[in-house]
């Protein structure tokens, strides 16, 4: 066993403590995706746990309602009831709630509904194909804080595909995974990694709440997921990847593929963008929605299916890694462990410090975002 | 989100705190049903967890013995051993215990059994078809406290059927469920509920340790469970239901069915009674025995089977609701939740306050019911 | 319910508290078997949890390496990576570790590997067929503390068989089980117990860190596991068993079988020895390796298979008992329980006091065996 320099150890330990992890409170003042629009047909109730709270969503004539999924009477989940007009009816004793959470009808005293019963309602904005919910202080639920990227939302310039996975890991570690793609060479050796990926040069840009990593792998050979739909199998190519932390709820991976075998003046770059939509379910689990778009083969469903299938294969590897890490962190004795970081982690470390600071700011009494029941 | 009147909120919150729930200690000084008589054939050991304690029951020449299911030597469950005469023999090292819990034989020192080894024994009374056990202070185990209803116990005037379910919920919520049957219209819409049930008039009678709700639904149409065996399908009927909280271990549902299509002087009412026998296994789980009797078609086993099957279908709905509520209460953040009650809850609320007071009385040092090991 | 003498109760309670159990810290300064040699082929990674720590083992040109199974970078289990030369490569970002735990290569900064990253390594000694690991203070990892018994390790004088079971119980209770074999008559009535076993005379020898029980059952009839391979079915025999606690990691059961139907001068005793190799995985689980040797029918694989099969049948009974006891101890209210011991427990009780004293000694600050990360 090698003994380490005590000063370096103390510094690493202190650094690790300043970064968000599964022990850091979740960020509430943020728009999070609760579901794809297609997950919520009219007349249906959708139960979804987000940031440790149970919600029920349903469509009203005016949009989408999101209520606490717990009847104020005896705690039966409203999602086990049914929709009636713009209301949800509890399946236990029939209490009926309006979209604003107010109880408007109690069958056993039909003539005089009590005025002081209600459940919390949450601001919702549907921007197809995503339904966004605000879990924090409703006074801060500014629609202007929704992500601006037009390609995320049913754009004619982009062909889109969508997927979902449930992950038993804290959301911070998924964000960090997405900011250091040097793991493609190892974790994704059989899917979208190549041996030269981890060795490629990269630039990191960090600012206030902004963290970007740009990596250029060139010349390289593309893995099948990209080579097949672009016709670049077996030729030299450039692969330029930009990873951007957008918010606790969102990360972008933007990819440019360039065929180096084609003379520069005849080239047309191919672009793929992935919105990695991350919704903490609890401190230890998350909903992983993703939307993948491309600017080529726009009408070709087979290309969509191929790319979605390949991405899913790779994301399964990420989920495996994140869940194994979560198990280790949960069951291993932490008293003599601290995380060690290297240069490639600079963006991830800065992002995790930002999340820790955000969480601390939200926990400050003046800005708690905590509310009474209704 | 609607803001509520702060005074009403404070009152509701204070009221909720005075009612028993899954955080309230279980009531020990009470007769509880451990099993049906038929569950305990001679020569067999029956393991049963009640009020957080593991018991083993077996038949002796003099009756039924109930001992702590844990050998005093090395904690092997006695229920994994065997019966020998009036004793139970541990399956690990052969320690033998008499019905009073005293260890009477240790094989490795056959000539000199230690005099100071024993396990706790519990008072038992079998009143067929039920075996009742007293889990509290044995000096208070008064047989006079057993429920008096003759119809519960093998009466020639009543035809009886029996059932059992294991429920992952606190017993208080099942008692409350049984005192407010307005839920029949919603939770039991497909079994024994009808749309008019929740709207029907009801009277509530509460007193010292006594809580009764009487509901008259008339005229109504009976659901198949009652219409079929009484021949009242498609005719106007009266349905009069009395729900009675008897003890922490027991609730009665007594039903009178009246055919309004028959002239008053020719009518003969039909009666069904259900003993809802509730034995907390732990704070979060319970044993649900039930005995259903009727005063018609006394010899008709097909009617017994039909009623038992229909009741089970409905009780499965109750169990579903109670277990979902238990999950919500366990996993949902309670800091901003309190129960809201309405007029129909008056008996349930009074009953829950009574259970809370009983629990507090038992926890008082002078009346603890706690005992030494043996 | 029999009331016990209060003084006897107080004494029993005080005695029980001085004995190690599942609440006692595990003993770290001891050689423990991590695996059989055959479990670790070259080029493979073997994950093993021992004493609450996750280890990864692999073969190097110089022997066997044992490292903490957690990459110092982002906690991915090294056992999910691969072996390269004498190093292990993390499967997430490719960090490479030498057998001493030092990180020697980081792909994203291939030119300048940080000097201060590493994982803990553990002393290992392979003495075929067992791989021993030292989990405590490495300065105390004296090879002279390995068990000396030559029959355990590939001896030409003995025919050997091996087995493994995972047990959900604390290791102390398995050690105690092995020191009081009076349980053979009851727990093993259908395998290697006989009715006279529990009644047979026994001697107990206890000293400093040494606990031996010798039991002579004679004349007796042997159960099939012993009668068949020795040809002693249906004849009077002597069965002499010595149980020895060797260390927290090891217990011996040594058996002499004698055919009393053969005149003394023509007799040849048969010997079987079992190394019960006990490695706590956590406070509540253990790895149970066993090596059974005999000095007869040395070349007969059918005899090996028969004995191993019979022993496994009996050990399944022990595992059942130990796991049931662990469940009882975990779920039963302990406030009014204490263990009662009898004369046959003298060695076991002394052994458990010894383990408790060892644990307390290790927890003393001057001797903690706790180390920094690397």
DSSP B138: G
Give the pLDDT confidence score for residue A188 in this predicted structure. Answer: 96
In this predicted model, which residue has the larger pLDDT, A1 or A145?
A145
Contact between A70 and B337 using a beta-carbon 8 Å cutoff: yes
The closest CB to that of A328, out of C70, C106, C108, belongs to C70
pLDDT of C251 above 50: yes
For residues A170 and A269, membership in a common domain is answered with yes
User: Does ipTM come in above 0.90?
Assistant: yes
Q: How confident is the model at residue C368 (pLDDT cuts 50, 70, 90)?
A: very low
Residue C4 has pLDDT above 70, yes or no: no
Length of chain A: 374
A251 and A164 housed in the same domain: yes
- C351 in helix, strand or coil? helix
Q: Mark which of A104, A123, A142 sits at the end of a domain.
A: A123
Positive or negative, the CA dihedral B49, B50, B56, B59 is negative
Query: A99: distance to nearest CA of chain B, Å?
Result: 9
Q: Which residues of C touch A5 (CB under 8 A)?
A: 115-116
pLDDT of A287 strictly over 50:
yes
Question: A342 and C109: CB-CB below 8 Å?
Answer: yes
> Does the pLDDT at position B295 exceed 50?
yes
In a domain, A35, yes or no: no
Report residue C231 as tokens: 């040809």
pLDDT digits (tens, 9 = 90+) for C262-308: 999 999 999 999 999 999 999 999 999 999 999 999 999 999 999 99
Question: What local confidence, expressed as pLDDT, does residue A242 receive?
Answer: 98
Q: Which helix (H) or strand (E) holds B127?
A: strand B124-127
Kindly give, in sequence order, each residue whose CB lies less than 8 Å from that of residue A146, ignoring residues fewer than 6 positions away. A31, A125, A127, A132
Which chain B residues are closer than 8 Å to C344 by Cβ? Answer: 93, 108-109
Question: What's the mean pLDDT in A40-56?
Answer: 97
The answer to whether C1 contacts B121, with C-beta atoms less than 8 Å apart, is: yes
pLDDT digit string (tens) for A98-141?
A: 999 999 999 999 888 998 899 999 999 999 999 999 999 999 99
Provide the shortest C-alpha distance from residue C198 to chain B (in Å): 5
Task: Taking residues C213-239, report their average pLDDT.
Answer: 96
- Secondary structure (3-state) at C227: helix
DSSP 8-state secondary structure symbol assigned to residue B155:
-
- Give the separation between CA B287 and CA B50, rounded to whole angstroms: 8
Distance CA C334, CA C324 (A): 16
Burial class (CB in 10 A: 0-12, 13-18, 19+), C52: middle
Q: What is the band of A6 on the pLDDT scale with cuts at 50, 70, 90?
A: confident
Average pLDDT, stretch A27-47?
98
* Cα separation values, B169 from B23, B327, C26, C160, C231, Å: 12, 9, 37, 53, 59
Specify if A295 maps to a domain.
Answer: yes
**What element of type H or E holds C17?**
helix C6-17
Could you give the CA distance from residue A79 to residue A327 in angstroms, rounded to a whole number?
Answer: 31
- C-alpha A200/C-alpha A215 separation (Å) is 7
How far is B141 from B32, CA to CA, in rounded Å?
11
**Which CA distances in Å does A54 have to A26, A66, A282?**
15, 10, 10
Q: The tokens of B133 are what?
A: 């056990």
Pair B248, B108 in one domain: no
Any domain includes A25? no
pLDDT of residue C124: 98
Mean pLDDT of B330-357: 93
Burial group, residue A256, by CB count within 10 angstroms (0-12, 13-18, 19+) = middle
Q: What is the DSSP string of B333-361?
A: --TT------GGGHHHHHHHHHHHHHHHH
| Touching chains, B (3+ CB pairs < 8 A) | A, C
Looking at per-residue pLDDT, the higher value among B43 and B335 belongs to: B43
Facing residue for C339 by CB, picked from B73, B77, B118: B73
CB contact under 8 A, A329 and C75: yes
CA B325 from chain centre, in angstroms, equals 18
A368, pLDDT greater than 70: no
Do A230 and A300 share a domain, yes or no?
Answer: yes
Last residue of a domain, one of C124, C141, C166: C124
Same domain, yes or no: B158 and B131 = no
What whole-number distance in Å separates Cα of residue B30 and Cα of residue B102? 24
B97 lies in the same domain as B219: no
Whether residue A109 is contained in a domain is answered as yes
Which residues in chain B are closer than 8 Å to C324, comparing Cβ atoms?
Answer: 76-77, 80
Average pLDDT across chain A, whole number:
94
**Rg of chain B (C-alpha set):** 23
CA distance B252 to chain A (A): 20
Residue A371 pLDDT > 60 = no
* B343/chain A closest Cα distance in angstroms: 7
The reported pLDDT for the residue numbered B366 is: 60
> Quick one: A181 and A310 in the same domain?
yes
Strands (E), chain C: 31-36, 46-50, 53-60, 63-68, 82-84, 87-89, 96-97, 103-105, 121-122, 124-127, 130-134, 159-167, 202-207, 210-220, 237-247, 250-259, 270-280, 286-294
Structure tokens that stand for C1 in this block:
């319910």
Q: Given an 8 Å threshold on Cβ–Cβ distance, is C337 in contact with B90? A: no
Count how many domains chain A has: 2
pLDDT at residue B15, rounded to an integer = 84
- Neighbouring CB atoms inside 10 A of B233's CB total 13
For the record, the structure tokens of C291 come out as 């090596």
- Check whether residue A65 and residue A155 sit in a common domain: no
Residue C322 — pLDDT band, cuts 50, 70, 90? very high
Q: H/E/C letters for each residue in chain A?
A: CCCCCHHHHHHHHHHHHCCCCCCCCCCCCCEEEEEEHHHCCCCCCEEEEECCEEEEEEEECCEEEEEECCCCCCCCCHHHCEEECCEEECCCCCCEECCCCEEEECHHHCCCCCCCCECCECCEEEECCEEEEECCCHHHCCHHHCCCCHHHCCCCCCEEEEEEEEECCCHHHHHHHHHCHHHHHCCCCCCCCCCCCCCCCEEEEEECCEEEEEEEEEEECCCHHHHHHHCCCCCCEEEEEEEEEEECCEEEEEEEEEECCCCHHHCCCEEEEEEEEEEECCCCCEEEEEEEEECCCCCCHHHHHHHHHHHHHHHHHHHHHHHHHHHHHHHCCCCCCCCCCCHHHHHHHHHHHHHHHHHHHHHCHHHCCCCCCC
pLDDT above 70 as % of chain A: 96
Q: What is the pLDDT of residue C373?
A: 44
Q: Are both A206 and A241 inside the same structural domain?
A: yes
Q: What percent of chain B has pLDDT over 90?
A: 87
Residue B20 DSSP one-character state:
-
- Determine the distance in angstroms separating the CA of C219 from the nearest CA of chain B, rounded to an integer: 17
pTM: 0.92
Give B222→chain C minimum CA distance, Å. Answer: 46
Per DSSP bridges, beta strands C130-134 and C124-127 are antiparallel
Which among B24, B22, B44 has a CA at the least distance from the CA of B35?
B44
Binned at pLDDT 50, 70 and 90, residue A370 comes out as very low
Distance from CA of C40 to the nearest CA of A (A): 22
At B298, list the tokens: 């006394």
Give the burial class of A22: count Cβ atoms within 10 A of its Cβ; 0-12 exposed, 13-18 middle, 19 or more buried. middle
Between C2, C176, C328, which is nearest B374 by CB? C2
Q: Is C164 exposed, middle or buried (0-12, 13-18, 19+ CB in 10 A)?
A: middle
Q: What is the rounded CA–CA span in Å between residue C16 and residue C12?
A: 6
**Overall average pLDDT of the C162-176 stretch:** 98
- Tens of pLDDT along B190-234? 999 999 999 999 999 998 888 999 999 999 999 999 999 999 999
Which residue in C50, C70, C76 has the most chain A C-beta atoms within 10 A of its own C-beta, making it the best mutation to test that interface? C76
Residue B187 domain-assigned? yes
Residue A89 belongs to a domain with what CATH number? 2.102.10.10
Structure tokens at A367: 């800005």
We report the CATH number of the domain holding residue B206 as 3.90.380.10
- C55-76: per-residue pLDDT in tens? 999 999 999 999 999 999 999 9
A7 φ, ψ (degrees, to nearest 5): -70, -40
| Chain B residues with CB-CB distance to A26 below 8 A | none
Contacts of A296 (CB under 8 A, 6+ apart): A159, A229, A230, A270, A271, A303
Of A173, A183, A324, the CB nearest to C77: A324
CA C110 vs. chain centroid, Å, equals 44
Residues of B in Cβ contact (< 8 Å) with C185: 94, 107
Q: Is B26 exposed, middle or buried (0-12, 13-18, 19+ CB in 10 A)?
A: buried
Give the mean pLDDT of A55-76.
Answer: 97
Q: Decide which of A123, A141, A172 is a domain's last residue.
A: A123
Mean pLDDT, chain B, whole residue set: 94
Q: Are B337 and A101 in contact (CB under 8 A)?
A: no
Q: Give the residue numbers in C contacting A (CB under 8 Å), as ranges.
A: 52-54, 69-70, 72-77, 80-81, 89-94, 100-103, 106-110, 114-118, 120-121, 138, 370-374
Whether residue C141 lies inside any domain: the answer is no
Contact (CB<8Å) B109/C336: no
Contact C67, C97 (CB under 8 A): yes
Q: How many residue contacts between A and B have a Cβ separation below 8 Å?
A: 119
Condensed to tens digits (0 to 9), the pLDDT of residues C330-342 reads 999 888 899 999 9
Query: According to the model, what pLDDT value does residue B8 have?
Result: 76
**Is B179 in contact with B242 (CB distance < 8 Å)?**
no
Least Cα separation, residue C81 to chain A (angstroms) = 9
Q: Rounded to whole angstroms, how far apart are CA atoms B209 and A107? A: 28
Same structural domain, B186 and B319: yes
Give the range of the structural domain holding residue B199, as residue numbers without chain letter.
154-363
> A39: how many CB neighbours lie within 10 A of its CB?
15
Is A54–B332 a contact, with Cβ atoms under 8 angstroms apart?
yes
The sheet that has A130-134: what strands, in order across it?
A31-36, A130-134, A124-127
Sign of CA dihedral C108, C111, C116, C120: positive
C314 and C261 within one domain: yes
Say which range, B52-61, B155-164, C204-213, C350-359, has the weakest mean pLDDT: C204-213
Question: Do A38 and A160 meet the contact criterion of CB atoms below 8 Å apart?
Answer: no
The answer on pLDDT for C241 being more than 80 is yes
Separation between Cα atoms, residue A78 and residue A55, nearest integer Å: 9
What SS3 state is found at C228? helix
- Do B277 and B33 touch, CB atoms closer than 8 A? yes
Residue C17: name the closest of C364, C349, C361, C374 by CA. C349
Q: Which residues of A touch C374 (CB under 8 A)?
A: 1-4
φ, ψ for residue B182 (rounded to 5)? -60, -15
Residue C324 has pLDDT above 50, yes or no: yes
Chains in contact with A, where contact means 3 or more Cβ–Cβ distances below 8 Å, are: B, C
Classify residue A141: in a domain, yes or no: no
Where is average pLDDT lowest: A116-120, B314-318, C122-126, C324-328? A116-120
Average pLDDT over residues C125-132: 97
Give the pLDDT mean for B257-266.
95
Which uninterrupted H or E stretch holds B235? none
Look at the alpha carbons of B154, B158, B159, B162 in this order and tell me if their dihedral is positive or negative.
Answer: negative
Residue B300 maps to a domain:
yes
Q: How confident is the model at residue B4 (pLDDT cuts 50, 70, 90)?
A: low
Taking CB atoms and an 8 Å cutoff, what residues of chain C touch B90? 186
3-state secondary structure of B316: helix
User: Are A169 and A227 contained in the same domain?
Assistant: yes
Segment B28-45 shows an average pLDDT of 98
With cut-offs at 50, 70 and 90, classify the pLDDT of residue C1. very low
Q: Do B342 and A110 touch (CB under 8 A)?
A: no
pLDDT at A126: 97
């Amino acid at each position: 066993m090698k003994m380490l320099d005590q000063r370096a150890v103390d510094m690493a330990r202190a650094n690790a403590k300043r970064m968000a992890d599964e022990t850091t409170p979740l960020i509430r003042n943020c728009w999070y995706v609760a579901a794809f629009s297609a997950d919520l047909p009219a007349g249906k109730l959708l139960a979804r746990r987000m940031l440790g709270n149970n919600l029920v969503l349903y469509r009203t004539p005016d949009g989408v309602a999101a209520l606490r999924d717990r009847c104020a009477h005896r705690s039966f989940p409203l999602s086990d009831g049914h929709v009636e007009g713009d209301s949800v009816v509890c399946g236990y004793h029939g209490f009926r709630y309006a979209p604003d959470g107010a109880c408007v009808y109690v069958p056993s005293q039909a003539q005089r509904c009590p005025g002081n019963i209600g459940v919390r309602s949450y601001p919702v904005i549907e921007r197809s194909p995503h339904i966004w919910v605000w879990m924090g202080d409703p006074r801060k639920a500014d629609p202007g804080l929704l992500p601006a990227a037009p390609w995320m939302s049913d754009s004619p310039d982009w062909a889109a595909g969508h997927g979902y996975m449930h992950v038993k890991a804290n959301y911070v570690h998924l964000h960090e995974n997405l900011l250091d793609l040097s793991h493609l060479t190892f974790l994704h050796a059989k899917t979208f990694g190549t041996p030269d990926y981890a060795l490629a040069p990269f630039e990191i840009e960090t600012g206030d709440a902004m963290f970007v990593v740009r990596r250029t792998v060139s010349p390289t050979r593309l893995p099948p997921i990209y080579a097949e739909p672009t016709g670049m199998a077996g030729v030299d190519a450039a692969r330029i990847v930009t990873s951007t932390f957008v918010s606790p709820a969102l990360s972008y991976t933007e990819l440019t593929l360039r065929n180096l075998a084609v003379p520069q003046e005849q080239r047309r770059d191919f672009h793929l963008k992935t919105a990695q939509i991350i919704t903490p379910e609890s401190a230890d689990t998350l909903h992983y929605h993703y939307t993948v778009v491309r600017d080529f083969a726009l009408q070709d469903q087979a290309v969509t299916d191929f790319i979605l299938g390949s991405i899913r294969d790779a994301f399964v590897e990420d989920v495996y890694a994140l869940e194994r890490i979560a198990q280790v962190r949960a069951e291993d004795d932490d008293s003599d462990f601290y995380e060690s970081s290297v240069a490639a982690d600079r963006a991830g470390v800065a992002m995790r410090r930002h999340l820790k600071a955000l969480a601390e700011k939200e926990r400050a009494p003046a800005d708690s975002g905590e509310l009474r029941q209704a």
